Amino acid sequence: MLTDLQQQPADALLALIKLHNADPRADKIDLGVGVYKTAEGGTPVFRSIKAAERKLAAEQDTKAYLGPEGDMGFVTALMPYIFGKDSPDMGGRIEGMQTPGGTGSLRLALGMVKRAGYKRVIVGKPSWPNHNQICADLGLGVAEFNHAKADGTTDMDALRGAIASAEEGDAILLHGCCHNPTGIDYSHAEWDEIAGLLANSKLLPIIDLAYQGLGMGMEEDAYGLRRVLVAVPEALIAYSCDKNFGLYRDRVGALYAMVADPADLTKVMSNGHSLARANWSQPPDHGAAAVRLVLEDAALTADWLAELDEMRDRMRQVRAKLAAAGKTGGVDLSPIGGQNGLFSIIPFTPEQVQAMRSEYGIYFAGSGRINVAGLTMGNIDQFIAAVADVTA
């Protein structure tokens, strides 16, 4: 029977990693893998995490199971940063659970959506490819709207139309900040409007907050999420610590549910627990425990926030340098300066993407998505010159 399985296409990003690794050129540039990189090109372990791990190694006295909800100290410690310090549980209406990374939280959120009877998820296009893949695997329909216009601004008309045409049984998935793959975020004024539109709809919002702190700051990056939650009765929030704590391989995330009536939380979270049990049973402990220890220690928290400041500042410098290049060959790099997070899309043709790889050893996704953190002050001029050449 196993021989009846159909060959599946290789993941494009994983294939890209292999191509880059096999390239013998010393000056090759990797702009494909979605991880933060320093000015020296490394992806370090945070200082604050290292300190927390030392404490964990010294003080942890068991490796016993946690249960499907995971480390609830970790889940609770994150809430003031996500939902605000004044009322992090929205008056008893929000509860969460630990998941294996942001992907785990999204899988759980969409599984709960499916179980609750929703039929379709409205998703901006382009979006993170796994959004649609998870929906397809769960048998959820997907309706797409254009997220951004060619000039590098959000397509609010498309979003308004998608919300207005939503049907009973629809949910909507929105990026909370640092849009992947475009880097084009909604402004505060646009989030204000979105919150009002959702308040007057029957849509269930699913907010994917995977990059908090990498855009404008921890508070600023939570603005849209908090505006929506004030306006609507119910929502699901998929959260990742893989990026803003540098815990990529430890897979640290959380799912939060907000309900209209606090009395419903136990029932809602019981479904999250049962779905988790059927998927991964219980989440890994180490990374979440390290995050909890960071957030329980004022000095470590301050160091973590300082590290985020350093990351944002470096990416802002790269974006400013790209934007200053302006019209480069046949593309305009200036909009990149106003975008947020790790990613931006440059409108390369497939032939130009291939030329960047073969002629210059510069690797990025076929969509034109680049990881701006892969650029440094040492290689950015090389990149700009290559762009000018292949798009001329």
Give the residue numbers annotated as catalytic, written as ranges. 128, 208, 243
Give, in order, the Cα–Cα distances in Å from 79 to each of 25, 39, 169, 224, 345. 45, 31, 28, 15, 32
In sequence order, what are the residues at sequence separation of 6 or more whose Cβ sits closer than 8 angstroms to the Cβ of residue 349?
Answer: none
The answer to whether 287 and 102 have CB atoms below 8 angstroms apart is no
Closest CA to 71 of 57, 85, 60, 87: 60
What is the number of helices (H) and of strands (E) in the chain? 14, 13
Dist. CA 316–CA 157, nearest whole Å: 29
Q: In terms of C-beta density within 10 A (0-12 exposed, 13-18 middle, 19 or more buried), how is residue 4 classed?
A: exposed
CA atoms of 380 and 362, how far apart (whole Å) = 11
Task: Return d(Cα 13, Cα 213) in angstroms, integer.
Answer: 25
Residues in the chain: 392
Q: Which of 71, 85, 162 is nearest to 120 (CA)?
A: 162
